[in-house]
Structure 1
Amino acid sequence: MRGLRESSRIALAVRTAIAAALAWYLAPYVPFAEADYSYYAPLGVLVSMYPTLAGSARSGMQTLMGLALGIGLGFGGIALLWMGAPGIVALALVVGVGVWLGGLDALGVGREWIAMAGLFVLLLGGATPEEFSVSYLVTMAFGVAVGLVVNLLLFPPLYLQQAADRLSSLRDAAAQHLHDVADAVEGRKISTDQLTEIVAELHSTVDEVTRAVEDADESSRANPRARGRGGERDLNRRRLHALERTVFSIRDLADVLIRVDELGTAPEGAHGPLAVAIRRVADLVAEPAGSESAGERLAAADEALAAYTAVLDEAPTVTGPTSVPSDVASELTAAVCLRRMIDASRPFV
Structure 2
Amino acid sequence: MTRRPLLDPRSWWADAVTGERLLLAAKTAAAAVLAWYLAPLVPLASSEYSYYAPLGVLVSMYPTVARSAMSGAQAILGLAVGIGLGLGSLALVGAGMPRGAAVAVVIGLGVLLSGVRALGVGRDWVAIAALFVLLLGGADPDGYSISYLFTMAFGVLVGVAVNLLVFPPLRVRSADRRLTQLRDDLVSDLDEMARALAHRQFDPHRAGAATQNLARTLDSVRAEVDASDESRRYNPRGRRVREQGALHRRRLDALAASAEATRTLTVALTRLLTDSGVDARLPGGARTALADAIAAQSRLVGAPFDRSDGPLAEAADTLDRYIESLGRSEVATTVETLDGWDAAISLRRMTEASREFAGR
2:311 aligned residue (269, 292, 297) = 297
Question: Could you tell me which of 297, 307, 322 is aligned with 1:308?
Answer: 322
Aligned to 1:19: 31
| Correspondence 1:330 to 2:339 | yes
Secondary structure of the residue that 1:89 maps to in structure 2?
helix
Q: TM-score, normalised by structure 2?
A: 0.92
Alignment equivalent of 2:208, drawn from 191, 196, 199? 196
1:68-87 per-residue CA deviation (whole Å, 9 max, x = no partner) reads: 00000011101101211111
Residue 356 of structure 2 corresponds to 347
Counterpart of 1:234 (choices 239, 246, 256) is 246
Q: Distance in 1 between matches of 2:293 and 2:17?
A: 38
Q: Map 1:110-149 to 2 at 5 A.
A: 110-149=122-161
CA contact (8 A) 2:110 2:126 kept: yes
Tell me what 1:321 maps to. none
Q: State the shift of 1:51 in Å.
A: 0.7
Aligned to 1:30: 42
Matched, 1:275 2:287: no
Secondary structure in 1 matching 2:269: helix
Encode CA deviations 1:105-160: one digit per residue, 9 max, x unaligned: 11111001001101111111111100000000000000000001100111011011
Which deviates further from its counterpart, 62-71 or 259-268?
259-268
Distance in 2, Cα, partners of 1:267 & 1:150: 64
Q: Is the Cα–Cα contact under 8 Å of residues 272 and 282 in structure 2 kept in the other structure?
A: no
Equivalent-residue separation in structure 2 for 1:316 and 1:267 (angstroms): 10
Tell me by how many angstroms 1:4 deviates. 8.2
State the 1:228 CA deviation: 3.1
Contact map agreement 2:82 2:130 (CA 8 A) in 1: yes
Displacement after TM superposition at 1:89 (Å) = 1.3
Aligned amino acid, residue 286 of structure 2: A
Identity %: 47
Shift of 1:267: 3.0
SS in 2 for 1:181: helix
1:134-283, aligned counterparts within 5 Å?
134-263=146-275, 264=278, 265-268=280-283, 269-283=285-299
Give the alignment partner of residue 79 of structure 1, picking from 80, 83, 91: 91
Q: Distance in 1 between matches of 2:16 and 2:70?
A: 19
CA contact (8 A) 1:253 1:334 kept: yes
Indicate if the aligned counterparts of 1:73 and 1:118 stay in contact, CA closer than 8 A: yes
Q: Give how far 1:5 is off.
A: 7.4
Cα distance in 1 for partners of 2:175, 2:186 equals 17
Quick one: distance in 2 between partners of 1:285 and 1:149?
42
The question of whether the paired residues in 2 share the 8 Å contact of 1:267 and 1:327 is answered with no
Residues 4 and 308 (structure 1), Cα distance of their counterparts in 2 relative to 1, 3 Å cut: farther
Task: Give SS of 2:274's match.
Answer: helix
**Contact 2:40 / 2:50 at 8 angstroms: preserved in 1?**
yes
Partners of 2:339 and 2:144 lie apart in 1 by 73
Cα displacement (A) at 1:317: 4.2
Segments of structure 1 that go 5 or more residues without pairing to the other structure are 319-323
Post-superposition offset of 1:18: 0.4
- Partner of 1:158, secondary structure, is coil
Q: For residue 80 of structure 2, what is the aligned residue in structure 1?
A: 68
| Contact 2:74 2:119 (C-alpha < 8 Å) held by counterparts | yes
Calculate the TM-score normalised by the size of structure 1: 0.95
Maintained 8 Å contact 1:27/1:35: yes
Q: Which runs of 4+ in 1 moved over 4 A?
A: none
CA RMSD of aligned residues (A): 1.3
Q: Judging changes above 3 Å, is the alpha-carbon distance between structure 1 residues 4 and 283 closer, same or farther for their aligned structure 2 residues?
A: farther
Q: Mean Cα displacement is larger for which, 253-262 or 31-40?
A: 253-262
Aligned positions, number: 340
Select the residue among 56, 63, 79 that pairs with 1:51: 63
Specify the SS of the correspondent of 1:24.
helix
Counterparts in 2 of 1:329 and 1:4: CA distance versus 1, 3 Å: farther
Verify the 8 A CA contact 1:37 1:135 in the aligned structure 2. Answer: yes
